[in-house]
Amino acid sequence: MSAVRHHVRTLALVALVAATPPAVAASADDRDDALAARRAELDRKYAFGPSAAAAINYRIAWQTSTGDDTKRVDVADEDVYVLSDRNRLTRIDRNSGAQIWTTIAADPLDAVWGVTEGLPGADDRPFGQNDDDRIYVTSDPVVFVLDHKTGAVVGRQDLERIPSTDVVRRGSYLIFGSRMGQVVWHQFTVGQAWRANQLKGPIVSTPILVGSNGVAAASEGGTFLMLDAKSAGRIWGERLFDGVTAPLAAGGGKVFAAGRDQYLWAFDARNGDTAWRYFTESPLTEPPTYIDADGGRVLQWVPTEGLVCLEANPQNAIEGRKVWTLPGITGRCVGQVNGNVAIWDAKAKMLRLVDVSQGAVTKTMPLPQIERISMDGETIFAIAGDGRVVRLDPIG
CA distance 370 to 331: 14
The pLDDT of residue 125: 84
CB neighbour list of residue 344: distance below 8 Å, 6 or more residues apart: 331, 332, 334, 350, 351, 372, 373
Residue (of 223, 134, 217) closest to 175 by Cα position: 217
**HEC string for 271-300:** CCCEEEEEECCCCCCCCCEEECCCCCEEEE
Using a CB cutoff of 8 Å and minimum separation of 24, what contacts does 218-223 make? 218/243, 218/244, 218/248, 218/257, 219/177, 219/181, 219/243, 219/244, 220/244, 220/245, 221/181, 222/259, 222/261, 223/181, 223/199
Query: Quick check: 133 and 120 in contact, CB under 8 A?
Result: yes
CA distance 97 to 389: 9
Cβ-based burial of 44 (10 A; exposed 0-12, middle 13-18, buried ≥19): exposed
- pTM, to two decimals: 0.88
Query: Quick check: 135 and 117 in contact, CB under 8 A?
Result: yes
CB neighbour list of residue 63: distance below 8 Å, 6 or more residues apart: 45, 46, 47, 97, 388, 389, 390, 391
Residue (of 343, 368, 334) closest to 48 by Cα position: 368
CA quadruple 53, 56, 58, 64: dihedral sign: negative
In order, the DSSP letters of 309-373 are: EEESS-SS-TT--EEEEETT--SEEEEEETTEEEEEETTTTEEEEEETTTTEEEEEEE-TTEEEE
Cβ-based burial of 9 (10 A; exposed 0-12, middle 13-18, buried ≥19): exposed
CA quadruple 359, 360, 363, 364: dihedral sign: positive
CA distance 277 to 135: 40
CB neighbour list of residue 110: distance below 8 Å, 6 or more residues apart: 87, 139, 140, 141
CA distance 127 to 77: 9
The pLDDT of residue 396: 78
The pLDDT of residue 33: 67
The pLDDT of residue 28: 66
Give, rounded to a whole angstrom, the gap between the first and last alpha carbons of the chain.
Answer: 69
State pLDDT tens for residues 152-209. 999 999 999 999 999 999 999 999 999 999 999 999 999 999 999 999 999 999 999 9
Question: Which residues of the chain fall below pLDDT 50?
Answer: 1-24
The pLDDT of residue 4: 36
CA distance 311 to 294: 9
Query: Quick check: 276 and 317 in contact, CB under 8 A?
Result: yes
Cα 12 from chain centroid (whole Å):
67
Cα 172 from chain centroid (whole Å):
24
